[in-house]
Amino acid sequence: MKQGKLLYAGKAKSVFESEIPGRLIMEYRNDTSAFDGKKLAQLDDKGMVNNKFNAFIMAQLQSAGVPTHFDRLLSETESLVRALDMLPVECVVRNRAAGSLVRKLGIAEGTELQPPVFEFFYKSDALGDPMINDSHIVTFGWATAEQIAQMKALTLQVNDILIELFHAGGLILVDYKLEFGTSDGVLMLGDEFSPDGCRLWDAKTLEKMDKDRFRQDLGNVIEAYREVGHRIGVKFD
Ligand code: TMP
Ligand code: ASP
């Protein structure tokens, strides 16, 4: 399908108008960013790998009853998605301590978190995606109380589904970030789910197999993304 007008270019994906009303083309680029855009690189095949990885996960979530914006794969690096009005918040769930939780609260990396921790972040590179709470979201009109409740419930439903999926592939789902939007007032999962926005560790060795390989200069970033995909049944070629 031909790309229409460019509507939005993020750090790793671009969104274009499509030929179908209410549907957009999401293009996954090889651009890789960390630390709110302070660390940038091009990684060969990342666009293709994340596009197919995301398509697989979205299909799993959809069939488990989670409403998502995903429609279908269009090409190696493009997917067709429903146009959403995105809410400017990020929903993070943590099953193990890592990343900013370790830095801010001094919890040892790898500590099991039961029940899982849920956090909201405000989507703003300029402000460094600060952590926020329900009260900020309602007062500043970023989402309604009802939408907050729905985002929490859906993010935790996704946790149940994906913990199992990755466990079957010998992987621990450490944490992940989701973004939601609305279409005709209906809340659904938008953006993407790929190793760019989650942490996955090998269940036996605890080896990092996600974007921390890029953040921490561990090497073999896309090789690890492919390996994770293979273990859960994603077909890349
Ligand atoms: P954090 O430990 O840096 O707070 O991130 C928690 C998880 O959420 C981790 O898997 C990375 C993901 N995440 C993003 O992908 N983008 C973001 O802007 C944020 C805040 C988190
Ligand atoms: N994706 C965000 C960025 O590029 C956060 C991160 O992954 O570190 O800055």
Both 104 and 62 in a single domain?
no
Ligand 1 pocket check: which of 33, 175, 179, 212 to mutate, most ligand atoms within 8 Å of Cβ? 175
What's this model's pTM, rounded to 2 decimal places? 0.97
Spatial contact of 62 and 70, defined as CB atoms under 8 Å apart: yes
State the distance from the centre of ligand 1 to the C-alpha of 177, rounded, in angstroms: 6
Nearest ligand 1 atom to the CA of 102 is 2
State the distance from the centre of ligand 2 to the C-alpha of 37, rounded, in angstroms: 6
Both 59 and 144 in a single domain?
no
- Is the predicted pLDDT of residue 237 greater than 90, yes or no? no
- CA-wise closest residue to 202 among 232, 235, 175, 169: 169
Q: What is the pLDDT of residue 36?
A: 85
What letter does residue 108 receive in the DSSP assignment? P
Q: Is residue 234 part of a domain?
A: no
Nearest ligand 1 atom to the CA of 199 is 10
Mean pLDDT of 232-237: 96
Range of the domain at 110: 85-221
Q: Is residue 209 part of a domain?
A: yes
Atom 9 of ligand 2, residue of closest alpha carbon:
36
User: Mean pLDDT for the chain?
Assistant: 98
Mean pLDDT of 211-220: 98
- What are 116-127's pLDDT values in tens digits? 999 999 999 899
Both 108 and 215 in a single domain?
yes
Both 57 and 156 in a single domain?
no
Spatial contact of 192 and 13, defined as CB atoms under 8 Å apart: yes
Instruction: Please give all residues whose beta carbon lies within 6 A of any atom in ligand 2, as ranges.
Output: 11, 33-37, 211
**What's the number of domains the chain is made of?**
2
Ligand 1 pocket check: which of 39, 132, 158, 177 to mutate, most ligand atoms within 8 Å of Cβ? 177
State the distance from the centre of ligand 1 to the C-alpha of 2, rounded, in angstroms: 32
Residue 22 identity: G
Q: What is the pLDDT of residue 3?
A: 98
Q: What is the pLDDT of residue 99?
A: 98
CA distance 16 to 85: 14
Both 156 and 184 in a single domain?
yes
Taking the C-alpha atoms of 161, 184, 91 and 116 in order, what is their torsion angle to the nearest 10 degrees?
A: -40
CA distance 44 to 222: 8
Both 60 and 104 in a single domain?
no
Both 76 and 96 in a single domain?
no
* Residues in CB range of 130: below 8 A, 6 or more apart: 121, 122, 124
State the distance from the centre of ligand 2 to the C-alpha of 226, rounded, in angstroms: 20
- Is the predicted pLDDT of residue 155 greater than 90, yes or no? yes
Cα–Cα–Cα angle for 49, 22, 129, rounded to 5 degrees: 55
